Structure 1
Amino acid sequence: MLEHPFKRISVIGLGYIGLPTAAMFASRKVEVVGVDVNQATVDTINRGEVHIVEPDLDMVVRAVVREGYLRATTTPEPAEAFLIAVPTPFKGEDHDPDLSYIEAAARAIAPVLTAGNLVILESTSPVGATEAMAGWLAEARPDLSFPQTAGQGSDIRVAHCPERVLPGKVMQELTTNDRVIGGMTPLCSERAVALYKIFVTADCVVASGPRAAEMAKLTENSFRDVNIAFANELSLICDTLEMDVWELISLANRHPRVNILQPGPGVGGHCIAVDPWFIVSSAPDQSRLIRTAREVNDGKPLWVIEQVHAAIGAYLTTHSDKTVGDVTLAIYGLTFKPDIDDLRESPALAIAQDLAAQHPGPLMIVEPNIDELPRGLERAQLVDLGSVRADVHVMLVDHKSFRQSDSPSGKLVDARGVWQRPALAQY
């Protein structure tokens, strides 16, 4: 392990990435001060509890808070290193990146910066965001020098190091996944490597600068988005041609150099559904394929809703004594991926909310990872898997418990292939 001069580390933003990162540093016996604008979040952490669901996180937070290595506050305090892990949402429907949270975080820590400090932007960001952050810091602290003007000899070191973890495996992947580090100078990168090597056992790969590191994260998720869009487009084509997309993909994947992903109801989460738009916003004329993939995946929920209405119509055709208000609809899954509680950018949630607004009949929701239904589903009923009694069943998220259950009776709309994947004969 590299020697490090970091006696206190501050993590700004205690969400799905910030809190696990803070807990990981604290578990290595380094004092960590977590900062969040939400007082309830701060109070929860200071009790040794967590406000998000992530395997093993609660155990680590409880231990490091009890031992005095982690505490939370709403006001930044002096430290040797600052990690900014705040949201980077969109502005409006044009998918322009909103850097206001990063700017607010930068201006919040600026008063407590001292010469020799390291500031790392972890938030997934459009190209140029790290340099913009350095500009905001310099504007707030003209008495200090920054890499964009002072180079290697700057008072403050600035770098970008995007998170690259999978929800549900964050505590494992924080240590075992390679980190891409883009410092604004070689010395900035060197200090950032020393910081992450406190707990990272994988490689810390130094990029040519923050822009390369920013683009690397965006490229990784755009690659995945494009491949998912190919699978989703195949599902649309197969529906038109009256073919089984699950059989088709299974057959095509028998080729040794083909590995088509599985289609779904769309793409969600805080990365894959967001990051490609950051590339499009930076180079709109050159990112035609990335934009098209986003449009294919963003359009898939509408297609699923059309399938549900068609299934309701088919049910009414065989039950002429009933009206659409008599049809009970069951929706399986709301999260953006299986076996987690994360609803961010979830196409399944959006589909459920649209159906709740459109369908006049009873609506059941089966989502084993949450305790209460989110906004827009007030009239629906949250039920467990064994309590479902419905006429039309809509599979949106292939949770493990769903995969292990039998196919229900009634009309089926299976966006994940849980009930419909064929078994191919092999000789």
Structure 2
Amino acid sequence: MTTFTIAPESIGKLRVSEIPYALHSAPESEAMEQASIFEGPTWVYVGIDLEISTPGTFKTTWIGSTPVIVLRDEHGDIRVLVNRCAHKGSILCFSQEGQTKSLSCPYHNWVYDLRGNLKRVAFAKGVNGKGGVPEDFDYAKNGLRSLKVATFSGLIFASFSDNPPDIQTYLGSRVQHHIARTIGRPMKIIGTYRQRMRNNWKLYMENTRDSYHASLLHVFFTTFRLNRLDMAGGMAISENQWNSISYTESVEQFNDEAYSGNRSLQSDIRLADPTLVRQFKEFDDPIVSSITSVFPNLIMQQIGNSLAVRQLIPRGVDECELVWVLLGAQDDTPEQSMARIKQANLVGPAGLVSLEDGIIGNFIQRGIRHPGEHKAVIRMGGDDVASLDSRVTETAVRGFWKAYKDCMGAAA
């Protein structure tokens, strides 16, 4: 593994179109990112409210490398608590999901309520008048750390910052509108996946913003005319340049000549069961596919009628985990539900499209193991970060690095 070759104070000066490979492979970058991004002035996506629908329901997850519990307290309010006992630091909750009336540490049985308040210390009065906590022990100062929480269209965000921006400003108006348009109605969970990938987390977040690769890497997309660069579409960038929407619009006729000689077009192949990708009209606009990426770790997809939110969790410098939650509308007809289930075969760890995204990051990770001073060239569509009515661009990837250096550079 290479050593970190870029001084922290220089990260704020990075050019967003030239990114050192060392940022994906240096061990030192993990601690810096935890402090400056995941515990910095950001909103980190931690789940969707459908996962914790009633008081006492919870899920466990991570904000960077910090374990957290996302739950509904007894009043129905959403809480995000650091999953760490205030006594010795032990993990409190090990289950991925469940229901409980309190949180209890397995080590010394300190008990907390669903708001993180310390309610009971085992043998607090000692035994036979000896031992126990001192008279000045303050229960109120020994609770769990409770994070700031914001929700938008059912999505739950948490922040370590004492003064994070309001969530609407953080997302930006265009991203707000698109999230609300896609999942801002009564929804239901129709499936979940968890996927481990052997690459740095930033490589996957780059991938979700890289519209340039969609019809080159994904042969299925191009061959069966689901997403091609000869279709109308573009890239919308949020006001702060941190977030993006890549979108594709329907088209009446495809231009196969645009892909002449390209290996990603297998024009003589047909589906034995065309209902696998048969779509129904769902929105009052021509968008048939979109990927929304919110810094640092949220992805929302619309691939035909396959709707999902994805949460990315770093697992060290060269590994990450992706948590998928597939969604349907509560008022879907049986036929519409079946269409969503069939189209879900496109995504997930073994998806007909997403399969390639799950491995391409590892190809890069292997290629940059000893990067030296070499850099990635991210110049498709120019060098700036701006919305564009084309998807032959890396403007949103540059937007990711704009957010990265804004956070990392500010802390240097």
TM-score above 0.5: no
TM-score normalised by the shorter chain: which range applies? under 0.3
TM-score normalised per structure 2: 0.26
More strand per residue: 2
TM-score normalised per structure 1: 0.25
Report which structure shows greater RCO (CA 8 Å, sep ≥6): 2
More helix per residue: 1
